Amino acid sequence: MTRNRATAGHAGRVVFVGAGPGDPGMLTARATAALAGATLVLVDADVSVAVQDAVRDEHPGAELSPAVGEPAEVAKAAVEAAKKGAVVVRLVAGDPYAADAVVKEVLAVGRTSVPFDVVPGVATATAVPAYAGVATGGTTVTADLRSGVDVTALAAAAGSAGGTLVLQGTAEDLPDAAARLVEGGLSGSTPVVVTTGGSGTAQKSVVAKLAAVAEKTAGLDSFSGPVVATVGTAVDKRARLSWWESRPLFGWRVLVPRTKDQAGEMSDRLRAYGAVPVEVPTIAVEPPRSPAQMDRAIKGLVTGRYGWIVFTSVNAVKAVREKFAELGLDARAFAGVKVACVGEQTAEAVRAFGIQPELVPSGEQSSQGLLADFPPYDDVFDPIDRVLLPRADIATETLAAGLQERGWEIDDVTAYRTVRAAPPAASVREAIKGGGFDAVCFTSSSTVRNLVGIAGKPHAKTVVAVIGPATAASAQEFGLRVDVQPETAAVGPLVDALAEHALSLREGAEDGAEK
């Protein structure tokens, strides 16, 4: 089992690692390196789900376990594992030394013979106000309401300094804390911004007066779990300094009908625009029913049967790579074979294989775009007239027919099968049909067909974004209104175009409100 894994000849250790405010992208390089070497990760409840998921995905050799109990108990569990040779990462929200309980854990570990390290993290008390659009300035008082702090004394400190007060705690802690701040001398009209889910795409901030928070009239009823309250006149500049919550897609729930492996680039780009991507697999990829055809094709590559190989999807590249691994081959088998790709995303998958494609469409990234650039067969310049076309079992015949018209002989090979995925959870199906998603991004005709098949048609108010003309035609066949289609058929331009569309909708709404 992974929990007992140890490096021969090396003793275990405990590494206290700051996880930052919640966004996995804010893990430091040292934090990532520490997690990469971890055997056991003891996780605080306040560490965001996004960070925990990222640790599981990127460091599958580490066992994640909740840190339970008083500081002495958590330290004891870490020390016991370390003494067995484990590298234990104690993952803490924000910065380790900003939490009194974690400091007690460090002191407890320090009283043993087990060595320990501390990897500072981006402090929640500074990062979350920045994500909420508040510049706290040089005079800032921070405190955790869960640590028994004297809130009345904090009011005096913040008031005399004329600075900003940043409080961490839970939503339930805030009314009493606000009341005590007013009792301690802060004006009830002092502005405060309360933020939950700080630094993530689910971040939400509410601006109110201190008295309203104390009286439970600030509109915080929906807030639960950890929050950060930033108190002071610095909050007044939030409208001009807000940069995260003002992003074009901030708060949008965007349906991504792709598998987790395929959705990475799209989901990351959506998050960068502030959206909340929800991945729903509509297609499952399986090997062909009989491997004989692919075996013969790969043998033909090695023996020089083909002048070209044409990749029409990332899945086709993956299928060939897997067959190469099965047969003990590598990229050298492509020596003398020219490579064409239907689009830039497929080309990137080929480059990751160590191969530079000779042909990627200069215009429309589709089968038609590839045919527009594909050279006709020339018996003088082309010693081999045969093209290998590994593709899905449900692919159209357009490309094969077009290549044959250009004089090429085609080996049209089923490299993989696409089958419809299982239906998503009932709550997701209801959200799709009921308007619970702001947008959906379709990347192929099959994603349109399969999503409608397993979950139903997206609601009429959902913005429909498609990657190219063939996908647009399929969406229209199902009665969907196509709102967004990029000039370049690729994931990046698709998300960029959706963001531009959202921005235009916002500007239109603002213009309408002004009239």
Which of 250, 242, 165, 154 is CA-nearest to residue 502?
250
CATH topology of domain 13-122: Cobalt-precorrin-4 Transmethylase; domain 1 (3.40.1010)
Class of domain 125-240: alpha beta
Classify residue 492 by its DSSP letter.
H
Structure tokens at 50: 């996004």
Element (DSSP H or E) covering residue 426: helix 426-434
Sign of CA dihedral 406, 410, 415, 417: positive
Torsion of CA 268, 269, 272, 276, to 10 degrees: -70
pTM for the whole structure: 0.72
Q: What is the pLDDT of residue 3?
A: 35
Q: What is the pLDDT of residue 1?
A: 31
Through-space distance between the first and last CA atoms of the chain, rounded to whole angstroms: 66
d(C-alpha 332, C-alpha 412), whole Å: 22
Q: What is the pLDDT of residue 6?
A: 37
Q: What is the pLDDT of residue 176?
A: 95
Instruction: Provide the residue type at 102 as one letter.
Output: V
d(C-alpha 406, C-alpha 301), whole Å: 21
**CA 65 to chain CA mean position, Å:** 22
- The yes or no reply on domain 253-282+422-510 and CATH 1.10.260.40 is no
d(C-alpha 337, C-alpha 382), whole Å: 11
Q: What is the pLDDT of residue 2?
A: 34
Angle formed by the axes of helices 29-36 and 49-58, to 10°? 50
Helix, strand, coil fractions of the chain, as percent rounded to 5: 45, 20, 35
List of residues 6+ apart from 388 with CB closer than 8 A:
297, 300, 301, 305, 306, 308, 309, 310, 337, 411, 413
Angle formed by the axes of helices 445-455 and 469-477, to 10°? 30
**Do residues 241 and 230 make contact, with C-beta atoms less than 8 angstroms apart?**
no
Classify residue 173 by its DSSP letter.
G
**Of the options 3.40.50.10090, 3.40.640.10, 3.100.10.10, 3.40.50.12780, the CATH number for the domain spanning 291-420:** 3.40.50.10090
**Residue ranges of the chain that CATH labels 3.40.50.10090:** 253-282+422-510, 291-420
**Do residues 307 and 280 make contact, with C-beta atoms less than 8 angstroms apart?**
no
Q: What is the pLDDT of residue 71?
A: 96
Q: How many CB atoms lie within 10 A of CB 352?
A: 11
**Residue ranges of the chain that CATH labels 3.40.1010.10:** 13-122
List of residues 6+ apart from 143 with CB closer than 8 A:
149, 151, 154, 165, 166, 167, 168
Intervals of the chain under pLDDT 50: 1-9
**Residue ranges of the chain that CATH labels 3.30.950.10:** 125-240
pLDDT tens per residue across span 61-102: 899 999 999 999 999 999 999 999 999 999 999 999 999 999
Residue located via tokens 């081959």: 329
Classify residue 137 by its DSSP letter.
-
Alpha-carbon distance values, 264 to 41, 44, 72, 82 (Å): 24, 26, 40, 34
